[in-house]
Structure 1
Amino acid sequence: MRLSEIQQRILSAKELDFGQIFNDSIELFKKVWVQGLLMFLILFAFMIPFIFIVYIPLIVLGISDFSNPGGYNTLAPIAFLIMIVAYLLFVFAMMVITFGLKAGLYRIMRQKDQGIVDKDDYFFFLRKPHLSKTITLSLATFGISLLATLLCFFPVIYVMVPLNLLVVIYAFNPEMSSSDLIRLSFDLGNKKWFITFGLTIVAGLLAQMVGALMCGIGVLFTASFAAIPLYFIYKEVIGFDGYEEGGLKRIGDNPEF
């Protein structure tokens, strides 16, 4: 879809039913909870080597202190600098990976919701030709969040809604430019701010509470529920035209499509 067409759909969007979206989210969660769990496990798998890289300078520093007790450690400033750089790279890499995996999960949600036959491709937005745009949008998300934080607490609450919607809009419109995607996320966020904020908070709290009742580790099983209402907000306001990029097919469609 074109930018102007999506903007027109946002401007003319109907009122959304909080209860209906919440109930639809529960039904879809029953279909995608395994995929949501796998996404978080993949994310943790990426985190482990990065954590080791961050702590390597500390290990080297500890060995140096042990071999030279009581003396000035010349490696301390170098190790400290390396640790800062490694930490910043770790944070940036995890931002990009998280953004890409979440966009991939929304793509999978559509497949399960609409009976589209295709593999569960979690890395769809972490490969060419989408990787560069995923990186750009991750940087934009970080920059907007940082600016909102510097401006005080309330701007952070405001931008939380459009920045969460940005992932959904990107998932279903990857051909659009980064600036257009950001613009649309704020257009949709402004139009449906209160219901989006309310659904996100309620779904997040419910996911945390149910997960906590499952001995804490259950949060991994329920965390993806907090993201599902955003999918239905996009679906109800903007909707899907035609088939998604990647050759997806509905169940029952002509296999030669």
Structure 2
Amino acid sequence: MEHPIFKKIENSKKIDFGDVLTQSYNLFLKIWQQGAMHTLIVMLFVIPFLILVYVPIIFMSFAAQRYSDPYYYEYGSDYGSAMDFSIPFIIIYFVVLFVLILIVQTISLGVNAHFYKVCRIVDMETGEPEGGYFDFFKNGGFVKIFVLSLATFGIAIAAILCCYLPIFYVMVPLQLILPIFTFNPKLSVNEIVKAAFKLGHKHWIYVFGLALIAGNVAQLGILACIVGFIFTACIVYLPIYFFYKNTIGFDDVTSTEVAEIE
């Protein structure tokens, strides 16, 4: 039996662009502190990841410069084969890099899913406890989010391989995957992706416009010595939250039910 969310998507109506932006601004004034905390938590995982990515690259670059110097080595039978070791190293590097990307993306999705839950609590003034930043990883949630992360990564790579143009289409459904998962955690990964593409296809131009405007506004924080981005980064999620609210809605779901994952 098809999940009710698909019927809601079919019956969803066009949103008021201006209302969504106004609602997003008003909610940002209430939630910017929570947004900054979520951004900082994600950065705590992203920064070590970047270090792990770039340190080997710097090492390989430095090594390549040394190995290309004819005065660095004494001539011998192994001269000219000094870089042979780099082939297995590069293979291992990219395998580890792929795994790390998925892990960091999984953590980011889980933390930002909690931010969407906080948005709902503050917006609707339910008075419910916000819970922990990693609530969505409990009860098998990490595995589900990891699979969801793998699916989104695969979709994005497939779109890029198709001459880049499809990425402009799939970026809209990919934006909707997280709120659909957050407020419908019992859906399977396949159902979440299917619902995201169905909703994104129907309202593509609206979501694309909202994401474009919110993304540009969020970048303004960089002008404040980059530190300001910590406080403005959460803006990108707010229009998507209100888009979801105005198209699919929440019914009578509670934040406790939102945090439950099969």
1:16 equivalent to 2:15? Answer yes
- Tell me what 2:77 maps to: none
User: Helix, strand or coil: the match of 2:252?
Assistant: coil
> Size of the alignment, in residue pairs?
245
Say whether the 8 Å CA contact 2:5–2:248 is kept in structure 1.
yes
Instruction: Pick the structure with greater CA Rg.
Output: 2
- Tell me what 2:78 maps to: none
1:96 equivalent to 2:91? Answer no
- The worse-fitting range, judged by mean Cα deviation, of 2-11 and 108-117 is 2-11
Displacement of 1:181 in angstroms is: 0.9
Q: TM-score, normalised by structure 1?
A: 0.84
Corresponding letter in the other structure for 2:27: L
| Cα distance change of structure 1 residues 152 and 76 upon mapping to structure 2, 3 Å threshold | closer
Displacement of 1:153 in angstroms is: 2.6
Corresponding letter in the other structure for 2:139: K
Say whether the 8 Å CA contact 2:32–2:231 is kept in structure 1.
yes
1:142 equivalent to 2:153? Answer yes
Percent identical among aligned pairs is 36
Distance 2:166 2:83 in 1: 44
Which among 141, 147, 151 is matched to residue 162 of structure 2? 151
| Cα distance change of structure 1 residues 3 and 114 upon mapping to structure 2, 3 Å threshold | farther
Which among 189, 210, 233 is matched to residue 200 of structure 2? 189
Distance 2:153 2:167 in 1: 12
- Tell me what 1:251 maps to: none
User: Helix, strand or coil: the match of 2:173?
Assistant: helix
Corresponding letter in the other structure for 1:124: D
RMSD: 2.7
Displacement of 1:164 in angstroms is: 0.6
Say whether the 8 Å CA contact 1:166–1:181 is kept in structure 2.
yes
Give unpaired runs (5+ residues) of structure 2: 75-81
Q: TM-score, normalised by structure 2?
A: 0.82
Corresponding letter in the other structure for 1:130: G
Say whether the 8 Å CA contact 2:210–2:239 is kept in structure 1.
yes
Distance 1:183 1:233 in 2: 17
CA deviation profile, 1:158-180 (whole Å, cap 9, x unmatched):
11111110111000000011111
Distance 2:206 2:51 in 1: 41
- Tell me what 1:171 maps to: 182
